[in-house]
A and B are shown apart, each in its own frame.
Chain A
């Protein structure tokens, strides 16, 4: 059962560990029509999804790699397993989980999170959701929270209506790839007027060499509803590059509000290329809170399409790039209707030659009168080798618009460090304190448990014991 490559794994991963893998089914490396068709077949999907996958695969083949952002030349699509099914059936309780998976979760603290948040944990292990405990209260009020495969099986009409309509396969190469081979992810449906009192969260984790993760998440918030969805992840190290290309589509209907929080800490060999987009209706509110600490390369620009009058979009993000890391992240705000407002606050930190880029697009369409735009991006450099760039694109095609844009780059000053070290604080703790202070305007928006974790991760990064 144990994968022979496991013994070759590098166990030096800073926060992690790699568990022996137990698979029921693993597709062969590389991608062709047969692999795509097999995924659909194994999942017993309806014909329209099979067609959607095959069509997406054709688009993926035609699309060129994006050349405008981070360096993606090391990605080898032929070296990746596109589908792995870890256990034969989904476990409904903690006790039913295989021992290795339980141990993995014990180390990242899922049971702890579960104790704190009763709304339910749908934890994704490799490409399939294996552990999922749905709060009964959610069901009582008609909220659906399940993995995407279950969603497709049990709620085909809803899925068909929305799936791939906000992020079509031809949006970009990685959206096409995800559309062809997606597996897992979450499906959330919140009925009209229902306000989910607790955050819904999904922990997930990848644990196989050369294995990409292609989750597909779909969230629908009906009129006047509210939901807060949290995804957090840590990953063990692999000896070869690993690809993570997720797609998240969110529909926020009239007067509804959705908050989507991410704490991303992939190991430093992961390509994290994610397409996240939300559509906000009349007076709807969409908030993305996005923290990117790990990965080798991240390209992620959460977007809000403000379609309804009075809709509001927000992206609050934190990016940390250490040695060999490039965080190319930002936001996209598209104003289609009058009285829409958007706010983007981006905080990035570079250390040990790490590179952060803020890449943002704000577009105000003709007729989107009285719209307001606020963009603020701050970069903090911890040494001379590190780098930060800002690419803010603004396309304002309506005169009756308020636009504010601020950008700062600061270096962590020797004087501030001396001020703190002279009070008895070590240099690395002082850096951690200053960095955590720098990101505080964003980190205070993250649920407490996660912001603690984030602070801890940043302190670990600063302490130089990792690299």
Chain B
């Protein structure tokens, strides 16, 4: 469903991503792993259309359509969702306002409000968090849950979670993973992570290893376990 052909990204003449080729299939769960600075978040940004990233790419196709020239909101409208590594605080804007506009006001506000409340309850998000300024004064875990909440309401086809497990306590992590497992039907997940931690709760179909901006290895869920034991260097060089 997402085809990347020969993707290169440079920022300030520095190679961030080099010759990435991969085909993400519908309904599968992918884990992208790699050490700090290996280009994991950059790949997520490139797919979501960050304006600061100039892509050199043969093709970037989502469900058969080239999206490499599309603005982030157009990609989002096609069904790509990016959950941020460090979601920013938005003063004076709550999650309801964000979602209402993101859905082009197509849902009646009361229905949307109910939907948000029900989903928040399932994720264990406190009520005041959905009413106050988004992410303001929220803990790491709460912020990630709020990202999950947005993903659930926007109902995208491809969900990219950038370090959904960083700064998240074990209970929150379990809630998020369970939520993903419950909402897997027909959806494609890309989980970007340093550790194997979240993969104990949600089993990836494929694990991709990025190092120095290159896709160096692809394997199944066992690969993640090996990395946990032996570290990146040894696995990649073996």
Question: A residues bordering B, Cβ < 8 Å?
Answer: 413-416, 418-427, 429, 433-434, 436-441
Q: A424 touches which one: B76, B88, B92 (CB < 8 A)? A: B76
Q: Please measure, in the bound complex, the distance between the C-alpha atom of A2 and the C-alpha atom of B204, giving whole angstroms.
A: 76
Q: Please measure, in the bound complex, the distance between the C-alpha atom of A416 and the C-alpha atom of B50, giving whole angstroms.
A: 11
The stretch among B11-19, B20-28, B94-102, B182-190 that forms the contact with chain A is B94-102
Question: B residues bordering A, Cβ < 8 Å?
Answer: 48-52, 71-73, 75-77, 81-82, 84, 87-88, 90-93, 97-98, 101-103, 133, 150, 154
Known: A422-B72, A433-B101. A414 touches B154 (CB 8 A): no
Total A-B residue contacts, Cβ distance less than 8 Å: 74
Known: A423-B98, A423-B154. A440 touches B92 (CB 8 A): yes
Question: Counting chain A CB atoms within 10 Å of each CB, which of B48, B51, B101 scores highest?
Answer: B101
Contacts of A440 in B (CB 8 A): 91-92
Known: A434-B90, A437-B90. A422 touches B98 (CB 8 A): no
Known: A414-B51, A414-B52, A429-B101. A423 touches B91 (CB 8 A): no
* 29 A–B contacts from the bound complex (CB under 8 Å): A413-B88, A414-B51, A416-B90, A418-B51, A418-B52, A419-B90, A420-B90, A420-B98, A421-B71, A421-B73, A422-B49, A422-B72, A422-B82, A422-B84, A423-B98, A423-B150, A424-B76, A424-B77, A425-B73, A425-B76, A425-B98, A425-B101, A426-B73, A427-B73, A434-B90, A436-B92, A437-B133, A438-B91, A440-B91
Contacts of A419 in B (CB 8 A): 84, 87-88, 90
**Is B71 a contact of A415 with CB atoms below 8 Å?**
no
Contacts of B48 in A (CB 8 A): 418, 422
**Is A415 a contact of B88 with CB atoms below 8 Å?**
yes
Contacts of B101 in A (CB 8 A): 425, 429, 433
Contacts of B72 in A (CB 8 A): 418, 421-422
Q: Please measure, in the bound complex, the distance between the C-alpha atom of A87 and the C-alpha atom of B52, giving whole angstroms.
A: 59
**Is A434 a contact of B49 with CB atoms below 8 Å?**
no
5 shortest interchain CB distances as A-B pairs: A437-B92, A440-B92, A424-B76, A437-B93, A421-B72
**Is A416 a contact of B91 with CB atoms below 8 Å?**
no
Known: A420-B98, A423-B102. A441 touches B51 (CB 8 A): no
Q: Please measure, in the bound complex, the distance between the C-alpha atom of A440 and the C-alpha atom of B103, giving whole angstroms.
A: 22
Q: Please measure, in the bound complex, the distance between the C-alpha atom of A419 and the C-alpha atom of B87, giving whole angstroms.
A: 8
Contacts of A415 in B (CB 8 A): 88
**Is A421 a contact of B76 with CB atoms below 8 Å?**
yes
Given contacts A419-B87, A436-B92, 15 further A-B contacts (CB under 8 A): A418-B72, A419-B84, A420-B98, A422-B48, A422-B49, A422-B72, A423-B98, A424-B73, A424-B77, A425-B76, A429-B101, A433-B93, A433-B97, A433-B98, A437-B93
Q: A422 touches which one: B52, B76, B91, B92 (CB < 8 A)? A: B76
Question: Counting chain B CB atoms within 10 Å of each CB, which of A416, A422, A434, A437 scores highest?
Answer: A422
Residue of B nearest to A438 (CB): B92
Q: Please measure, in the bound complex, the distance between the C-alpha atom of A83 and the C-alpha atom of B120, giving whole angstroms.
A: 60
Q: Please measure, in the bound complex, the distance between the C-alpha atom of A423 and the C-alpha atom of B147, giving whole angstroms.
A: 10
Contacts of A413 in B (CB 8 A): 88
Q: Please measure, in the bound complex, the distance between the C-alpha atom of A213 and the C-alpha atom of B66, giving whole angstroms.
A: 57
Q: Smallest Cβ distance from A175 to chain B, in angstroms?
A: 36
Q: Please measure, in the bound complex, the distance between the C-alpha atom of A245 and the C-alpha atom of B118, giving whole angstroms.
A: 53
Contacts of A425 in B (CB 8 A): 73, 76, 98, 101-102
Known: A419-B87, A423-B98, A427-B73. A436 touches B51 (CB 8 A): no
Contacts of B82 in A (CB 8 A): 422
Q: Please measure, in the bound complex, the distance between the C-alpha atom of A223 and the C-alpha atom of B103, giving whole angstroms.
A: 51
Known: A423-B98, A424-B73. A441 touches B92 (CB 8 A): yes
Contacts of B71 in A (CB 8 A): 421, 427
Contacts of B90 in A (CB 8 A): 416, 419-420, 433-434, 437
Contacts of A441 in B (CB 8 A): 92
Q: Smallest Cβ distance from B11 to chain A, in angstroms?
A: 13
Question: Counting chain B CB atoms within 10 Å of each CB, which of A414, A415, A424, A441 scores highest?
Answer: A424
Q: Please measure, in the bound complex, the distance between the C-alpha atom of A433 and the C-alpha atom of B71, giving whole angstroms.
A: 18
Q: Please measure, in the bound complex, the distance between the C-alpha atom of A423 and the C-alpha atom of B52, giving whole angstroms.
A: 17
Q: Please measure, in the bound complex, the distance between the C-alpha atom of A332 and the C-alpha atom of B50, giving whole angstroms.
A: 44
Contacts of B73 in A (CB 8 A): 421-422, 424-427
Contacts of B49 in A (CB 8 A): 421-422
Contacts of A427 in B (CB 8 A): 71, 73
Residue of B nearest to A413 (CB): B88
